[in-house]
Amino acid sequence: MADAILTISSKNYGAWALRGWLMARLAGLEFTEHLIPPDDPEMKAEMLLLSASIRVPALEHESVRVWDTLAIGEYLNEIRPAAGLLPAGRAARAHCRAICGEMHSGFSALRSSLPMNIKAHFPHFKLWSRARTDIDRVLAIWTDCLQTYGGPFLFGQRPCMADAMFAPVVTRLLTYDVALDGICAAYCRQIMALPAMEEWVAAARLETDEIDELDAEF
């Protein structure tokens, strides 16, 4: 019996769900996955019981309920410190929290005009200029981290909270066929090759739910 329950939504469309799920995997937490389909009419009522924000991911562990991805990441780091969800050095930890915060609160043009849709592929997708600005900032963050900490992950040898926060951006860049330089393309390959990511993507591909407005190219 797992000692935690993680509530998530669609694996194909659920970018925040992916972030929380990947953090839990990176932390080595044993958890039962509770998947609420996005088109379930009872979804909001069920989610309200689990997450005060009526949003997922939501984690339940030893009677503690945590919602919101950043809070889940910090909580996982407290209960599994050896997993290194946050980097060891104080300066690197501050840097990691800063870019996680930037992802959590920003990049709205990228998030709204390139929604996560793992099953889809839109070759030659035309980027809106504000989305281009967001993508350029993300790529600058990645390049800075990879050069500062030596890769192959953002803060060095092992994936951490920041890699989980940016994982749905990696899938979006692939879905929307965004051209990348060698450094960022290699980073995307590293993320997609994580066993947990391979597992998530395989499950996303099997999902049959479709949200039409997210499947349209716009």
Ligand X SMILES: N[C@@H](CCC(=O)N[C@@H](CS)C(=O)NCC(=O)O)C(=O)O
Which of 33, 34, 55, 125 contacts ligand X by CB under 6 A? Answer: 55
Pairing of β 58-61 and β 64-67 = antiparallel
- Among 12-20, 78-86, 138-146, 199-207, which window interacts with ligand X (CB under 6 A)? 12-20
Contact between 16 and ligand X per CB under 6 A = yes
Which of 4, 6, 60, 68 contacts ligand X by CB under 6 A? Answer: 68
The token pair that represents 185 in the structure block: 């393309």
Contact between 14 and ligand X per CB under 6 A = yes
Dihedral angle, C-alpha 48, 51, 64, 196, nearest 10 °: 130
Residues with Cβ within 8 Å of residue 108, at least 6 apart in sequence = 134
Considering beta carbons, is residue 67 or 155 the nearer one to ligand X? 67
Sheet harboring 58-61: ordered strands across?
Answer: 32-35, 4-8, 58-61, 64-67
Backbone angles phi, psi at 129, to 5 degrees: -60, -35
Which of 15, 23, 141, 194 contacts ligand X by CB under 6 A? Answer: 15
Which of 4, 50, 56, 154 contacts ligand X by CB under 6 A? Answer: 56
Considering beta carbons, is residue 19 or 95 the nearer one to ligand X? 19
Which of 7, 9, 117, 175 contacts ligand X by CB under 6 A? Answer: 9
Contact between 69 and ligand X per CB under 6 A = yes
The token pair that represents 160 in the structure block: 């951490």
Contact map string, positions 92 to 131, toward ligand X, x by CB under 6 A? ------------x---------------------------
Secondary element (H or E) of residue 202? helix 195-206
Q: How far is the CB of 77 from ligand X (least distance, A)?
A: 15
Indicate the length of the chain as a whole number: 218
Residue 211 CA to residue 92 CA, distance in Å, equals: 39
- Among 7-15, 131-139, 146-154, 181-189, which window interacts with ligand X (CB under 6 A)? 7-15
The token pair that represents 154 in the structure block: 């953002």
Pairing of β 4-8 and β 58-61 = antiparallel
Considering beta carbons, is residue 12 or 190 the nearer one to ligand X? 12
Q: Which residues bind ligand X (CB under 6 A)?
A: 9, 14-17, 55-57, 68-69, 104
